[in-house]
Structure 1
Amino acid sequence: MSRLGPVITLTAGAVLAVGLGVASVIATPAARNEAADTAAEAPSAEETTAAPSSSGEPAPEPERTAPKKIPKADYGGYVKGNGGLIAISIRDGKAVGYFCDGKAEAWFKGTESDGDLRLAGSGSAKVTAALGGGRAKGWVAVGGRKWSFVAPTVVKPSGLYRATAIVRGAKLRAGWIVLKSPKGGFTQVGAAFEGDTQVPIPQLQGDRPTAPVTVDSTTLYPKDVDGFIEEMQ
């Protein structure tokens, strides 16, 4: 019995040691797994620094498109309540206009953008119109009076014509509006001034409106709008 005592004691100690070792092996992976899960859930310092706050970012600016300009267009029509004519021509956003009823007349210049036309003349004279659907529709104001108009698009020889010269030290200028009549032929109106004095003006040749004419003993050479629009800007 005395010999078995130490053996039993040693065996029990070995069993106890093995049991503690197994428990240690089982506990260690669990601790490591828990630590790994905690590290995966927490964002890294690099991620925290790199992720910007969406609330702090400026809102993207909307894209701005340049206003559209009509490259080329010519309009002509009657002024309601007046009986006169109005002609408007546009070249790459630049615009000129002319109103005449045989007595009063006015030249205008300005711009067109996105179908909105605004022209200014001498004093308070002005033209405002909306362009679209093959016509210009708006208002013309001259000499303290205002009339509406609707002017469809026109093609040459219909349109606006102008001529200038220097006579006896004074500027001689003349303007015409020529419109093709639906019944054939042409309707036209114009006015000529030597300085501030109005002088008689001849009719243009409807099918050849740029042919020379004589005004107050002076030969004038009418130009279509392409020949003088830049001079008026």
Structure 2
Amino acid sequence: MKRPGPLLTLLAGLVLGLFMLTLNATSGTKTASSSYSEASPSASQKTPPTPSATPSPSPTPSPSKPSVANANYAGRTDDDAASIAVSVRDGKAVAYFCDGRYKEAWLRGRVNNNGSMKLTAPNGAVLDGRIEQGKKITGTVKDEGRPYTFTADKAVKPSGLWRATAKVRGAKIDGGWIVLPNGRQTGIVTRDGKATSAPRIDPETGAVTVDGQQLTAQPVTP
């Protein structure tokens, strides 16, 4: 019997080597997709939201100041039956309506930013007026059911509105005066509620003599 030849032995070695090479390649290599899957972070992981900034509180608006300038006004009704004086301070107004004999009314109220005003008196009188360009007040005073239209020009002291209150010989005295820019005066003094024409005052000092007693009238402001 003959031994296998060298050729057969060499062929068997080659077959065995190819088999071992194929086995190592199959067991030791991973696919690119599996390697990427292990290296990649989880798709479900999310970035935490950034907290929103707390809004700062809005500053409290400062109260608006009245836009109407402080001033005094004095004038006559259109029929020249009575005088009217108005004093405006810090958005408020006081007015005096007087015919110099027996008819009078003290009126008070607010002045709107557009210059309009509606003033009222305890006796029911009502003044509806408006400041025009800071130079004059035009309007109507309704007293005892009768309307009086008027124009009151801007007045500078000693023109304007004056008042004096006191007790003279046991009687309660209440006097009101309107001094016009031309120096004309209109006023009434009431003694315990009874009205009479007022004596003239000194517009420079406010001095006035009532029933033999000297009083001092003061400028009127709201």
- The corresponding residue for 1:73 is 71
- The corresponding residue for 2:219 is 224
- For 1:89, give the aligned amino acid: S
Mark the runs of 5 or more structure 2 residues left unpaired by the alignment. 1-10
Greater gyration radius: 2
C-alpha spacing 1:34/1:93, structure 2 compared with 1 (3 Å): same
Computed over aligned residues only, the root mean square deviation of the Cα atoms, in angstroms, reads 3.3
- The corresponding residue for 1:203 is 200
Q: What is the CA–CA distance in structure 2 between the aligned matches of 1:217 and 1:146, rounded to whole Å?
A: 37
**1:79·1:147 contact (CA, 8 Å) conserved in 2?**
yes
CA deviation vs aligned residue, 1:52-82 (integer Å, no higher than 9, x gap): 9xxxx9xx98965524235732112222345
Number of corresponding residues: 206
**1:158·1:178 contact (CA, 8 Å) conserved in 2?**
yes
TM-score scaled by length of structure 1: 0.71
Q: What is the CA–CA distance in structure 2 between the aligned matches of 1:205 and 1:168, rounded to whole Å?
A: 22
Tell me how far 1:117 sits from its aligned partner: 3.1
After TM superposition, what 4+ stretches of structure 1 lie above 4 angstroms from structure 2? Answer: 30-36, 60-65
What are the residue-to-residue correspondences of 1:121-160 with 2, within 5 Å?
121-134=121-134, 135-160=136-161
- For 1:11, give the aligned amino acid: L
- The corresponding residue for 2:35 is 28
Match of 2:19 among 9, 20, 29: 9
Paired residue secondary structure (2:23): helix
Say which structure, 1 or 2, has more relative contact order (CA 8 Å, 6+ apart): 2
- The corresponding residue for 1:112 is 111
- Give identity over the alignment, percent: 32
Mark the runs of 5 or more structure 1 residues left unpaired by the alignment. none
Q: What is the CA–CA distance in structure 1 between the aligned matches of 2:35 and 2:69, rounded to whole Å?
A: 82
More helix by share: 1
C-alpha spacing 1:113/1:216, structure 2 compared with 1 (3 Å): same
